[in-house]
Structure 1
């Protein structure tokens, strides 16, 4: 057998090439890892390095309500949006199928909270109590959105203890839509959305289960807590892609719980990354951890939050769908930014490491600064707090408008920040 030997020169060359290759791969990996960390860790400054004029933002909201509230006198309707070419709220009926009815009274409760002005409490009571009958809604999942911002904030902020039974009834109505064979609360009826024939669950539903958690710890049945947790676990398992972005709509087999379809209603396409959908997830899982203290939910909340932050543009306000964000002509969605800003303030108080606390806090402050800036603020332009939200571009409506729920989560964020500063 012939044996071949490398001379020292050959060995040195081979070793050098190998070393260079290893170093190159190591540097590349380090660069990729560093870039990813930089993308995720949007803010590296300490809390003291970032400022936000909270009182100015509160004063602006108060001034906007001074303008808008005297115009909103029909108690059978609520403000929904302000069109691109308009300055005043378009009102829609307080119908049992209109999911946005609770946000306006919720805004008034938060206005009372951050300003201490009794007139906003009085207005909030008046606007809340007009839809007490909604407590029996079982046609869809949005009873949580409709009742908790209004009656929940009325109970917690306004001290309206008589709202407790209404909230408990509302929670039981929502729980009636839970399918144990699937493990989630059914969102829409098939009559409302005939594209899907069986059990539909949308990512937005993560917000509605807050009503169940509240009820379970305020005299409601323990099963309400269990339903909320099961819904969160099933959604965590099925509603998110490997890259941690979310689908909007999942259709389950009503009998065996198998996934039939993953689709969208408001995103760019079935497989695109609808920005408000991921925002609902960030807020929802932050809330679920707050209610359960189960670390698996905190871990997941952080993972999807980091993904959301990684996808953001420089001004911290996403396009209506992340998959179209590279096109500067595509509209923004300030409502997604407001939702996540509010959630991040909560999340910053829950994580253990100081680095994560400051990272999430700073990201929230940057979002609020952007939303309060002339680019997104409605002051002097329209009766809302914020401009440039997009509700459902894929459906051809609510494109680049003011939306009532954007204002709701914005003032909620201000309320949370004020409590943190105290």
Structure 2
């Protein structure tokens, strides 16, 4: 009788089991391969924060303009009459958000009036859409009255950030005339014996002739005016002010005082004080930012090595300070007593980041370090400090501090933080695309 063949069952099961294991292993290897490809893709496809942030800014600034219009319409008759009596002019541009949640608008004479139109010029520069040029002109033109206002040192902030960017992008000859007249007006505040530009006329009980570190920023208007007119008056005043400030404003560690008071007859220093910092001996964060930006700009315009060295030393002070947070967004003062439970100052971060992008082009040895610091700041600002779309009255960034000692504008959006944020983004993009600025 023929026998029916019966497979060896244990051997068969073993073979099937091996096939199943092989199939499972292939699935695992396939999944691992997919994962590795995905990770590699994520690594190579870097997030474009310049594009993302400008896309956000486009929506937010359109919303901001509607908020400005609404706030102007809602101003009370009493407020209008009060400003009229003081010859303050109309409200024109946003500055911050008030404690009651309402948008704070300023007249042209306020030192912050030029930043919002400056933002709109930066939008035009990035997007190259004529609607942004029209918007920038709308908010720039009401500031023309400031060209003859000799009662302030803030001509650069008000006029150069607005008309200056407008002229750079359009070559509007009327803008050029306004800028030159503004520069001549600024020179009237120069004190030749002390070789400085007087900052404030107020608080005569405290200071005789106060000069604040912020004033370094207004020198750019004078350098521009020298370049356009060839009148050495502008250059000489700007250089003298910068050199005198190096001599008197800085401590041995390259931190800056906020206010230096001068005797205008002898040029001697009377006092070294603060106004917006924690104490006379502390390092107010935005003051350090104004300083590193100001001296970087002065080196660009003069190529004097002392200005580059000063900028490098100030940057080193900021980024080696033990109280600088891990995300590099500083507290409002480096010596504030309750750190880490102190407010941040995002405006100090944006000014510093913008300065570092420029500084990286002059100090090649330390360029990678400056770029790393600037990019880290910009990445963290983009991740953790942005406002919400069509909220926060149209501001771009949260968590700035104006003057904590006066309990003024603490942990709020500030228009100048937004201005230097967009400037830093443009500088970042230009460096990455061309390897140079200007």
> What TM-score do the two structures reach when normalised by structure 2?
0.81
Q: What is aligned with 2:107?
A: 93
Question: Using CA pairs below 8 Å that are at least 6 residues apart, which structure has the higher relative contact order?
Answer: 1
Is 1:119 equivalent to 2:131 in the alignment? yes
User: Structure 1 residue 194: deviation in Å?
Assistant: 2.5
Alpha-carbon distance in 2 for matches of 1:378, 1:396? 22
Ranges in structure 2 where 5+ consecutive residues have no aligned partner: 1-43, 73-89, 434-438
- Structure-to-structure mapping, 1:198-209, within 5 angstroms: 198-209=208-219
Q: Partner residue of 1:53?
A: 49
Q: Structure 1: which 5+ residue stretches go unaligned?
A: 1-47
Q: How does 1:10-409 map to 2 (within 5 A)?
A: 53-73=49-69, 74=72, 76-83=91-98, 86=101, 89-94=103-108, 96=109, 98-189=110-201, 192-311=202-321, 312-324=324-336, 327-353=339-365, 356-373=366-383, 375-380=384-389, 381-382=391-392, 383-409=394-420
Cα distance in 1, alignment partners of residues 286 and 205 from structure 2: 22
Kept after mapping to 2: 8 A contact 1:52/1:368: no
Q: CA RMSD in A?
A: 1.8
Partner Cα separation in structure 2 for residue 121 and residue 239 of structure 1? 39
In structure 1, how many angstroms separate the alpha carbons of the residues matched to 2:232 and 2:154? 21
Call closer, same or farther: CA 1:358–1:197 in 2, change over 3 Å. closer
SS in 2 for 1:104: helix
- Per the alignment, residue 75 of structure 2 pairs with none
Equivalent position of 1:413 in the other structure: 424
Offset, 1:84 = 6.3
SS at match of 1:377: coil
| Distance (whole Å) between structure 1 residues aligned to residue 170 and residue 350 of structure 2 | 23
C-alpha separation between the residues in 2 aligned to 1:168 and 1:110?
Answer: 22
Aligned equivalents of 2:311 and 2:339: distance in 1?
28
- The alpha carbon displacement at 1:85 in A equals 6.5
Question: How many Å apart are 1:158 and its aligned residue?
Answer: 3.0
Which region of structure 1 is more displaced relative to structure 2, 319-328 or 290-299?
Answer: 319-328
Q: What is the TM-score with the length of structure 1 in the denominator?
A: 0.84
**Deviation at residue 327 of structure 1 after TM alignment:** 2.0
Question: Which residue does the alignment assign to 2:84?
Answer: none
What SS does structure 2 have at the residue aligned with 1:198? coil
1 CA distance for matches of 2:59 and 2:45? 29
**After superposition, what is the alpha-carbon deviation per residue over 1:262-293, rounded to whole angstroms, capped at 9, x for unaligned?**
11110011111101001100100000001111
Separation in 2, partners of 1:119, 1:325: 47
Q: How far apart, CA to CA, are the structure 1 residues paired with 2:332 and 2:423? A: 21
Q: Deviation digits for residues 293-345 of structure 1, max 9, x if unmatched?
A: 11111111101111111122101111100102762221000000000010101
Contact 2:114–2:161 (8 Å) recurs in 1: yes
Contact 2:329–2:377 (Cα < 8 Å) also in 1? yes
Cα-to-partner distance string for 1:151-187 (whole Å, 9 max, x where unaligned): 1000002332321111111001111111110011000
